[in-house]
Amino acid sequence: MFKIKKLFKRLTFGLCGIATAGLLLTGCGGDSAGGGNADSTVLKVGVTNFADTLEPTQNYFGWVVMRYGLGECLTKFDEKMNIVPWLAESWSTSEDHLTWTFKIRDGVKFSNGDPLTAEAVKSSIERAFQKNARAATFFEYESITADGQNLIIKTKKPLPGMPGYLADPLFIIVDTAAESGRDFSKEGPICTGPYTVESFVKEKAVMKKNPNYYAEVPYETVEIPSIDDPNTRAMALQAGDVDIAVNIAAGDIDIFKGNDKFLVDEIPSLRVVLARMNQNPDRILADPKVRAAFISGCDRETYNNVLLKGTFIPGKAPVPPSLDYGFDKLTDPNAYNPERAKTLLAEAGWADSNGDGILDKDGKNLELDFVVYNSRAELPLYAEAVQADLKKLGFDIKINTVDYNLIDNMGIKGEYDLLISNITTANTGDPEIFLTWYWKTNVDGNNPQNGSGYSNPEYDAKLEELNSEFDAEKRKQLIIDLQQILLNDAASIFFGYPQTNIISSKRVDGVKMYPSDYYWITNLIKPAK
Amino acid sequence: MTDFIKQNKLFTFYTALVILLVIIAIFAPQLAPQDPYEGDMRNVLQPPSDEHIFGTDKLGRDTFSRIICGTQVSLFMTICVVILLAVVGGVVGILSGYFGGKVEMILMRIADMMLAFPGVVLAIAIAGILGGSIVNTILALLAVGWAKYARLVRSLVIKLRYNDFIIAAQVNGTKTINILWRHVLPNILPMIVITGAMDIGTMMMEIAGLSFLGFGAQAPTPEWGLMLNEGRQYIQTAPLLMIYPGLAIFIVVAIFNLWGDALRDLLDPRHD
């Protein structure tokens, strides 16, 4: 009896589901791309999401907390990557540069009504240090003290990047006092942003208006489905299932550019697509000549201008030209030159001794394991283009497609010959952290992101210098020098620099892509009049 | 011969088509007008033209050549899978049907276990764990499919097991291996062949499905499922990239299914 009842229940549910789906379909059918979503109190945003929870200190999940309009930091980056006040009204540093004072904005409340005090900020930052070891790779403090609305951070050495470090989503300010009654990782943290969490699973988040926000919040509800496949995201936007979609792929963007129902905001991003090259001693790529040959054999101009239809700028150096760090002054010794690549390979002792078209040396084929993930449409395309180009030189490149979640760990453990990723170069406002994480010598895991085995004492010394240099001109020169070292050493291959885009239906207003891709949903997005 | 053709017009027609496909597959490298792996990256996503009758794909490779060479990859993988299935399933089935007892119990319980899983999902899981490659796809489909053959063969063997001619062979002191080879196998072979022939289409779909999901053939292999997946990114801007491999799968699977049906009618007239 019980079973039959259950079955009946399921059947009813199923039928209801089909009926609703039918209704929805007919409802939207008449006015596709015009607007299935007529309700101006609900905003729907199609995103990619890698976060399993909304705990800002877990992995990089803070990014999602910020993108969803939930969390805010003391500082933020504007559209020109200047550091501007957010929860901190202003800041200053002492004469010896060892003490930073941040003045916390008055009248700000957490979404539960608690006031934002310097004390609350202090315990939130301490919490980040306690919960995530990455915090210490930004800066180490001697003490943090709260004095009224002033937050005072003392450091052991002068750290010019401090205001930028605190803009990283790892340092999202949460109400630690609320943690006793709430599981942040399941229910979402209590923050100060315009929206609060109603429900969150990896596939979909529903946000509600924060009643205590210090400015006007235009929508009652924000629905954020994660649509990881870029083509599906484009179709959802066309069909009116979402009002806004981020990062539409190169193949689809022209559909929206030519359509007056949509607004495309496309800007050069701060990102670079690079492939780390594993140069640990037992690897083929340990030989700098093979690395140089590899890079010389890749026709990056064509990949970016033709295959990706110019949505990417051809790569050369670690830092994209959208940031002013001497892109044009840098010389790439390994610019496209297949003839040179052939000579280099011959010099390194690789020859095709058995006539199978693949070079070999000491009985070993020139076979490389190229690790790729699929959630960004351009990555497999680069990999396949490289595979085709380098086959002509006698490389046998095996593309190994893995899930995005495995990439981080594979990078740390060095389980690859080449590992492609799309990385932001200026998460703290300048490339210091980026240049440190991926190429500073890694001794016994003290710089875990550098699993490639790259090490150059000259590079490490310049990084050390950069870390405590306050003078902007000198910093710039150091960053240029660091990049040139990486280029000379053929440390990694830099494929290209993406444009980043956010596309919105004309039903909404105020949608903007920032070069730093932390800010997607803001209180500036409102229904169009 | 002519009588046979006259009496089995459909079967002859389908067989001719199958032979044509096999010829295309074997001579694919010679038939393809261009190298399926090498393209001109400056001419990507071209519409059909005199030079490229199906246009070019995302890396500027000739789509027509890739489809032709795909016949070889798909057909080779499918035939491998079907033959392996018949061999593994056949051996297990004959052993358990003929010997019975503990051998049968152990082998059949394992087969039951495999049958309890939903086939494609298990194949995806196995291919996912082993990592995507042509060999692993074949292994995954083999692991999932052998139980069906084992079950079928076992029941056929049980039916034969106590027939007089087998008992007679036993009484005469024929070696077991010879009984299985001379008396059992020839009697069950037609059913195995029919089942195998009718499975070719299904297996081809499953192979293409696994490749589409990224668990089968890997780039740059010209495999239809993989080509479908590659075309997916351009479904709005260059839909032909999906239509050609889709049509190829459709046509080939249809031919093999029709041929399998015709073969069954021919070999097993009792079947309605």
Tell me phi and psi for residue A313, to 5 degrees. -90, 135
A298 touches chain B (CB under 8 A): no
Query: CA B232 to CA B227: how far, in whole Å?
Result: 8
B235 touches chain A (CB under 8 A): yes
Contact residues for B257 (Cβ-Cβ < 8 A; gap 6+): B198, B200, B201
**Closest residue of B to A300, CA-based?**
B41
**Closest residue of B to A387, CA-based?**
B220
Contact residues for A116 (Cβ-Cβ < 8 A; gap 6+): A87, A104, A105, A108, A109, A110, A173, A192
**Closest residue of A to B133, CA-based?**
A400
Query: How many Cβ atoms sit within 10 Å of the Cβ of residue B189?
Result: 14
Shortest distance, CA B240 to any CA of chain A (angstroms): 14
Q: What is the sign of the dihedral through the CA atoms of B254, B260, B261 and B266? A: positive
Please state, in angstroms and as integers, the Cα–Cα distance from residue A117 to each residue in A87, A423, B243, following that order. Answer: 10, 34, 61
Are A385 and B218 inside 8 Å of each other by CB?
A: no
Q: What does each of the 529 residues of chain A score in pLDDT, given as a tens digit?
A: 444 444 444 444 444 444 444 444 443 433 444 444 567 899 999 999 989 999 999 988 999 999 999 999 999 999 888 999 999 999 999 999 999 999 999 999 999 999 999 999 999 999 999 999 889 888 999 999 999 899 999 999 899 889 999 999 999 999 999 998 899 988 899 999 999 999 999 999 999 999 999 999 999 999 999 998 888 999 999 999 999 999 898 778 888 998 999 999 999 999 999 999 999 999 999 999 999 999 999 999 999 999 988 889 999 999 999 888 989 999 999 999 999 999 999 999 999 998 888 999 998 999 999 999 877 888 999 999 999 999 999 999 999 888 887 888 899 999 999 999 999 998 888 899 999 999 999 988 888 889 999 999 999 999 999 988 889 899 999 999 999 999 999 999 999 999 889 999 999 999 999 988 899 999 999 998 7
Strand partners, B103: none
- 3-state per-residue secondary structure call for A18-64: HHHHHHHHHHHHCCCCCCCCCCCCEEEEEECCCCCCCCCCCCCCHHH
Q: Which of A238, A306, A369, A404 to mutate to test the interface with B (most CBs of B within 10 A)?
A: A306
Please state, in angstroms and as integers, the Cα–Cα distance from residue A65 to each residue in A51, A78, A81, A136, A194, following that order. Answer: 9, 18, 20, 21, 12
Shortest distance, CA B235 to any CA of chain A (angstroms): 8
Of A529, A503, A525, nearest to A43 by C-alpha is: A525
B4 touches chain A (CB under 8 A): no
Q: Which whole number is the average pLDDT over B201-219?
A: 90
Of A138, A131, A219, A125, nearest to A175 by C-alpha is: A125
Of A274, A229, A205, A294, nearest to A424 by C-alpha is: A274
Are A388 and B218 inside 8 Å of each other by CB?
A: no
A377 touches chain B (CB under 8 A): yes
Q: What is the pLDDT of residues A429-472, one digit of tens each?
A: 889 999 999 999 998 888 888 999 999 999 999 999 998 888 98
Query: CA A33 to CA A28: how far, in whole Å?
Result: 9
Shortest distance, CA A259 to any CA of chain B (angstroms): 14
Chain B residues with CB-CB distance to A403 below 8 A:
none
A89 touches chain B (CB under 8 A): no
Strand partners, A271: A424
Query: CA B190 to CA B269: how far, in whole Å?
Result: 12
Shortest distance, CA A253 to any CA of chain B (angstroms): 10
Q: How far apart are the first and last CA of chain A?
A: 57
B35 touches chain A (CB under 8 A): no
Size of interface A-B (CB pairs under 8 A): 59
**Closest residue of A to B60, CA-based?**
A307
Interface of A with B in 222-281 (CB under 8 A): 230-231, 234-235, 249, 251-252, 254-255
pLDDT at position A3 = 45
Q: What is the pLDDT of residues B95-132, one digit of tens each?
A: 999 998 999 999 999 999 999 988 889 999 998 888 88
Are A235 and B236 inside 8 Å of each other by CB?
A: yes
DSSP codes of every residue in A459-525:
HHHHHHHHHT---HHHHHHHHHHHHHHHHHHT-EEEEEEEEEEEEEETTEE-----SSTT-SS-TT-
Quickly count helices (H) and strands (E) in chain B.
Answer: 12, 0
Assembly ipTM = 0.79
pLDDT at position A427 = 82
Mean pLDDT (chain A, rounded): 89
Query: CA B81 to CA B75: how far, in whole Å?
Result: 10
**Closest residue of B to A378, CA-based?**
B233
Of A360, A378, A168, nearest to A272 by C-alpha is: A378
Cα A360-A366-A368 angle, rounded to 5 deg: 165
Chain B residues with CB-CB distance to A381 below 8 A:
58
Chain A residues with CB-CB distance to B235 below 8 A:
231
Percentage of chain B with pLDDT > 90? 67
Query: CA A449 to CA A420: how far, in whole Å?
Result: 14
DSSP codes of every residue in A228-267:
-SHHHHHHHHHTTS-SEEE---HHHHHHHHT-TTEEEEEE
Confidence category of residue B214, pLDDT binned at 50, 70, 90: confident
pLDDT at position A134 = 87
pTM of this structure: 0.81
Token pair of A413, please? 């453990």
Q: Which of A235, A262, A381, A495 to mutate to test the interface with B (most CBs of B within 10 A)?
A: A381
Shortest distance, CA B239 to any CA of chain A (angstroms): 12
B26 residue type, one letter: I
B128 touches chain A (CB under 8 A): no
Q: Which whole number is the average pLDDT over B169-174?
A: 91
B80 residue type, one letter: C
B251 touches chain A (CB under 8 A): no
Contact residues for A63 (Cβ-Cβ < 8 A; gap 6+): A51, A169, A518
Residue B94 has pLDDT above 80, yes or no: yes
Q: What is the pLDDT of residues B175-203, one digit of tens each?
A: 999 999 999 999 999 999 999 999 999 99
DSSP codes of every residue in A321-334:
TTS-S-TTT---TT
A335 residue type, one letter: A
A91 touches chain B (CB under 8 A): no
Query: CA B197 to CA A243: how far, in whole Å?
Result: 50
Chain A residues with CB-CB distance to B46 below 8 A:
none
A98 touches chain B (CB under 8 A): no
